[in-house]
Amino acid sequence: MTRAAGTPAPRTPASTAATPQPAPAPPGSAGPTARDAGEALLRAAERLNGLLTDLAQEHGLSALQARALRALSGGPTQGGLSRQLGCTPSVVSALTRDLEARGLVVRRASRSDKRVRLTTPTPRGREVLAAIGAGLAERSPLSHLPPERVADLAAVLAELERLPPGGAHAPAPSPEPAAD
């Protein structure tokens, strides 16, 4: 059976999914490795995505549609949304067309460039977004962390997002010679 683009797939609720625990650090090691951290990050992302999927489904949306609706609150163009969601422009076009058909967004041509489509949430779209956001705030494991830990995590994740593909680091800049 074929589903339309963005249609939620049936899934098991995130709360019932077993979360594998990290393997203990090898004896004599200094602590978690980058691989350990990466595995933990993937598990946390899966858990959060499962929660978002569950909440989005409560409103008849897929997780991607919910993410698009949230991103559209910031007013990006279709191209900007494509980059933000990591989707092709054709997928974004189908997403926004579907959200518009559901009465959650309105699309219009830009006044300055008629080739550019601007999409913004409708009042109903903002209500759905607020309900999903409230559910995330209530049920997210991140809500149980102290604010300073959330800020630290956000900073680390932002740093990871800025790294080039493959995670290759540029060589550290050489210290400037002292002026005489």
pTM for the complete prediction? Answer: 0.70
Question: Please, what is the end-to-end C-alpha distance for the chain in angstroms?
Answer: 75
Which of 34-38, 107-111, 122-126 is predicted with the least confidence, judged by mean pLDDT?
A: 107-111
pLDDT at 27: 63
pLDDT at 78: 81
What's the structural domain count of the chain?
1
Beta bridge partners of 119: 107
Which residue in this structure is represented by tokens 């559901």? 102
Query: Residue 108: which CATH number?
Result: 1.10.10.10
Residue 167 within any structural domain of the chain: no
User: Which position has the higher pLDDT, 4 or 131?
Assistant: 131
Mean pLDDT of 160-173: 68
> Each residue of 94-133: b (16+ CB within 10 Å) or e?
ebbebbeebebbeeeeeeeeeeebbbebeeebeebbeebe
Residues in Cβ contact with 33 at an 8 Å cutoff, skipping those fewer than 6 apart: 25
Residue 110 within any structural domain of the chain: yes
Which domain does 69 fall in, by range? 41-153
Residue 92 within any structural domain of the chain: yes
Residue 118 within any structural domain of the chain: yes
Alpha helices in the chain (DSSP H): 34-57, 63-72, 78-85, 89-101, 123-139, 147-162
**Each residue of 37-94: pLDDT tens digit?**
999 999 999 999 999 999 999 999 999 999 999 999 988 878 888 998 999 999 999 9
